[in-house]
Chain A
């Protein structure tokens, strides 16, 4: 049996393709029509073709588990991919991209301020304790001037859409965000599997990212007048994101190095060991947590890093992206201050809203959170990968009690947010298409110039009703299309975007079908 859109339920949240009454949203009609025109055998064939392409292209990610003997083991899994694309309209995306640039600019200004004058503290924007006692604050970075005043050169911001279809920022990943290679590969797989869909659309390409990243990194090079040597520093083949490290090095024509390939000379410059001898390195895109990059400065037991790297960086002889210490702004408590930062540093109103956030460290907020645990999502301030969350509405009484104890014991470590019903999109299950929740991670590059990916990585919770989209926890992904629609449809849907009214979206869908 092929896809029957009349049986698709788009009423549980904002759906990216279908209105609550079952019509196509602007731009979605071709995708829905093509999918509905396929028999179930053909659909299964396409799905299998995607799996084969992913396998053949070696698109993998590593999950950590136990081997048969109970020891640690790594499994290389093929990347989970759903063949139904997620659509974002171009003019909507342009708005979002402007908001992202604004946000990252303010965040970089904040980090630079924290490691210099700390005006934000003196002027009472953020309490001193939140920063100086943060696990991610690095004393060693005080007074350092990275090029262009930028600390977080590659930022991955997680966006969600609420019930009205409004884009909200869920978190900013400023340290070593990953996923961009999957965004690029998803497009490549989609072109193989559904070439005919590309005929009906003006889809903006995503593959300029590696060039933009290379340009961004080169703009940080300390030496003038020579072609900079750029290296991607990876923890190695067993890291879960190794595929991406290799992918980016390859597409940027940069060196892919491990810590053991590099050393710092007596001149405080960084060199890599080549067959021709030592070769100076100008820019390092490090994909290692900053506590591991230099055993001399941070964790002595790190075998991933390079002794003396911080010394070389402080001396201005090498650029590090992202800069050590930038994690001070990658914290869910600090996140709640970003709208204030935008007003403070840029004197602008935020273009993108945060999800409302309660800081457990503040008594009033904490009391509210403790009284309403069963309706809130509680997050540790400093974890990533979707670990350590409490999803209040789904949690047991015992789990809520355990979290209440943790919050009282260490309030600084927790924030809480209302449960946002993430938007959904049609996703192929064994037998049909069903709505699944998803988010979106665009990547923002900051160097001499700023760049935002066209769309980003859409992650989708493959389990019915689940809001956990992380690939380490069974999430999948979709190709994300930023599309142009015909003027009439575009106008109609911009009304939907501005007013956030579902009716507007549905009538527009009717107009284009």
Chain B
């Protein structure tokens, strides 16, 4: 395929395209679907993780601790919908809502359908075998993610979903061309991941109830945030301090080597965006999110200031998403009749 830039470089169009890291001119519609594919994959994995981790956590905690299933609903931002469907945020209802309820657009089953639908519409852009993985994930979810199963079977089913997602992603990462399709897939991954990290911190901190402000409860709370993000072991290895608010926040927001940290996600988004053509606005939005994080007094954030900061992070992510969509997915290009090439 031919390259679209007139920049000096390898003489042939094919050579230019190769040197530039593959095609930079994929269809806008395809770019959008690959981006959403990336978001849905990440959402399936993070929701499955959230449910599994919470189940484990609750088994470790003394009864009647004010930690329960409700935060999961809040983390996923689906409070109003949940409340309209269920009376009580108990284990059965929350699990059903998050795992198998087709009325919840954020449920695992619906996200898997999102993965499959988006993969189906872009199947020609991915290695052929990957569609088998997607199908397998879909068939598995349809047969195994039934409501009302026992904790043990639920655990097995969610692990099965998780490993299938990893298989799919791993195969893509190793075998798919790392061209613009890949860049959009990753961009979707990273944005969804940053979103989940910031929501988890937000909800986790908000649930620190006054009156229960014993050190032990605080620690349990922050521990649960770390565990929810699969970052407990990493925290011990990288930070080496007891679990408490300031170092946990510093770690989850700023650690450059933690895959799910907010800073790391932003940096990766920025590098994805940098690889794409016509990237001025999304680039600006990535930069301002990075600057805002750099300038924040992260360890001093507590209570209302922490919540306000997490709100700000969400807004930055929203702006990045909007500019990505406006720049690459929804625009009306006009050809330039003079050179018959391109214009935007």
A274–B132 CA distance with the chains assembled, in angstroms? 27
Contacts of A267 in B (CB 8 A): 335, 337, 340
The interface size of chain B toward A, counting residues with CB under 8 Å, comes to 42
CB-defined contacts of B120 to chain A, threshold 8 Å: 58, 237, 246
When C-beta atoms are compared, the residue in chain B nearest to A264 turns out to be B335
- Docked pose: A204 CA to B341 CA in angstroms: 43
B315 close to A (CB within 8 Å): no
* Identity of the chain B residue whose Cβ is nearest the Cβ of A271 in the assembled complex: B335
Whether, in the assembled complex, A356 has its beta carbon less than 8 Å from a beta carbon of chain B, the answer is: no
Picked from A55, A269, A272, the residue with its CB within 8 Å of the CB of B27 is A272
Give 6 closest A-B pairs by Cβ, nearest first.
Answer: A250-B124, A277-B342, A265-B335, A278-B333, A249-B124, A274-B25
What chain B residues lie within 8 Å of A256 (beta carbons)?
30, 124
CB distance from B174 to the nearest CB of A (A): 18
Please name all residues of chain A whose beta carbon is closer than 8 Å to the beta carbon of B22 when the two chains form the complex. none
**Counting CB contacts under 8 A, is B28 at the interface?**
yes
Asked if B36 CB lies within 8 Å of chain A CBs, one says no
Contact with A along B111-137 (1 / 0, CB 8 A): 000000100110111001001101110
Within 8 A of B (CB), among A253-297: 253, 255-258, 260-261, 265-267, 269, 271-280
Please tell me if A419 contacts chain B, counting CB pairs below 8 Å.
no
Is the C-beta of B334 less than 8 angstroms from some C-beta in chain A?
Answer: yes
Complex interface: chain B residues within 8 A of A206 (CB): none
Assuming the contacts A269-B335, A273-B28, asked whether A280 and B1 have C-beta atoms less than 8 A apart, the reply is: no
Flag if B337 contacts A266 (CB, 8 Å).
Answer: yes
CB <8 Å contact, B335 and A58: no
Q: Does A347 contact B (CB under 8 A)?
A: no
Nearest CB of A to B264, in Å = 25
Instruction: Contact check, A227 vs B13: say whether CB atoms are below 8 A apart.
Output: yes
Q: Which residue of A lies closest to B131 (CB)?
A: A58
Q: Closest CB-CB distance, B56 to chain A, in whole Å?
A: 32
Proximity bits, B93-125, A CB within 8 Å = 1, else 0 = 000000000000000000000000100110111
B residues with CB within 8 A of A = 1-2, 4, 13-14, 24-31, 117, 120-121, 123-125, 128, 131-132, 134-136, 139, 180, 276-278, 328, 331-335, 337, 340-344
CB distance from A182 to the nearest CB of B (A): 15
Which chain A residue lies CB-closest to B139? A55
A271-B13 contact, Cβ under 8 Å, with A55-B139, A257-B27: no
Given A58-B132, A275-B180: A237 in contact with B121 (beta carbons within 8 A): yes
Contact A227 B27, beta carbon cutoff 8 Å: no
Name the residue on B nearest A236 (C-beta): B121
Note all chain B residues with C-beta closer than 8 A to A398.
none
Decide if B278 touches A276 in the complex (CB within 8 Å). Answer: yes
A276 touches B277 (CB 8 A): yes
A residues within 8 A CB of B136? 56
Chain B residues whose C-beta falls within 8 Å of the C-beta of A395 in the assembled complex: none
Residues of B close to A351: CB separation below 8 A: none
Q: Is the CB of B135 within 8 A of A260?
A: no
Q: A128 in the interface, Cβ–Cβ < 8 Å? A: no
Chain B contacts for A273, CB-based, 8 A: 27-29, 331-333
- Which residue of chain A is the closest to B132 with respect to CB atoms? A56
Known contacts A229-B1, A265-B337; A275 and B135 CB within 8 A of each other? no
Q: Is the CB of A226 within 8 A of B2?
A: yes
Are B343 and A227 neighbours in the complex by a CB distance under 8 Å? no
Q: Chain A contacts of B24 at CB under 8 A?
A: 275-276
Interface of A is mostly: mixed
Contact of B344 among A247, A250, A265, A277 (CB under 8 A): A277
Known contacts A249-B124, A250-B125, A261-B28; is-contact A276 B135 (Cβ 8 Å)? no
Whether A258 contacts B25 in the complex (CB less than 8 A), given A55-B139, A57-B132, A277-B4, comes out as: no
- Please indicate which of the listed interface residues B27, B136, B342 has the most CB atoms of chain A within 10 Å of its own CB: B27
B4 and A55: CB pair below 8 A?
no
Contacts A260-B29, A261-B28 aside, 18 further interface pairs with beta carbons under 8 A come to A57-B132, A227-B13, A227-B14, A229-B1, A256-B124, A258-B29, A265-B334, A266-B335, A267-B335, A275-B276, A275-B328, A276-B4, A276-B24, A277-B4, A277-B277, A277-B278, A277-B342, A278-B343
Q: How far is the CA of A261 from the CA of B332 in the complex (A)?
A: 10
B25 to A276, Cβ gap below 8 A?
yes
CB–CB A271/B132 < 8 A: no
CB contact between A275 and one of B25, B117, B134, B337 (< 8 Å): that residue: B25
Interchain Cβ contacts under 8 Å between A and B, 11 examples: A58-B132, A58-B134, A227-B14, A237-B117, A237-B121, A258-B29, A273-B331, A273-B333, A274-B26, A277-B333, A277-B344
Q: Among the interface residues B2, B26, B335, which one has the most CB atoms of the partner chain A within 10 A?
A: B335
Contact with B along A29-43 (1 / 0, CB 8 A): 000000000000000
* Distance (whole angstroms) from the CB of A228 to the closest CB of chain B: 9
Would A275 and B335 count as touching, CB distance under 8 A? no
Instruction: Give the residues from 42 to 61 in chain A that come closer than 8 angstroms, CB to CB, to chain B.
Output: 55-58
Bound-state Cα–Cα, A105 to B29, Å: 38
Nearest-neighbor residue (CB-CB) of A272 within chain B? B27
Q: Which residues of A contact B14 (CB under 8 A)?
A: 227
Complex CA distance for A226 and B278, rounded to whole angstroms: 24
Can you name the residue of chain A whose Cβ is closest to the Cβ of B341?
Answer: A280
CA distance A277 to B336 in the complex (A): 10
User: B26, A275: Cβ atoms under 8 Å?
Assistant: yes
Q: Whole-angstrom distance from the CB of A445 to the nearest CB of chain B?
A: 20
The interface residues of chain B lying within 8 Å CB-to-CB of A56 are 132, 135-136
User: Is B278 touching A275 in the complex (CB atoms < 8 A)?
Assistant: yes
Give the contacts of A200-238 with B (CB-CB under 8 A).
Answer: 226-227, 229, 237
Specify which chain B residues have a CB less than 8 angstroms from the CB of A250 in the assembled complex: 123-125, 128
Smallest beta-carbon distance A395→chain B, Å: 41
Q: CB-nearest residue of chain B relative to A76?
A: B120
Alpha-carbon separation in the docked complex, A253 to B276 (Å): 21
- Closest residue of chain B to A232 (Cβ to Cβ) is B124
Q: Verify A261–B4 contact, CB threshold 8 A.
A: no
A291 to chain B, nearest CB (A): 24
Q: How far is the CA of A275 from the CA of B125 in the complex (A)?
A: 15
Contacting residues, chain B, for A279 (C-beta < 8 A): 4, 25, 342
- Chain B residues whose CB sits within 8 angstroms of the CB of A261 once the complex forms: 27-29
Query: Which residues from chain B contact A253 at a C-beta distance below 8 Å?
Result: 1
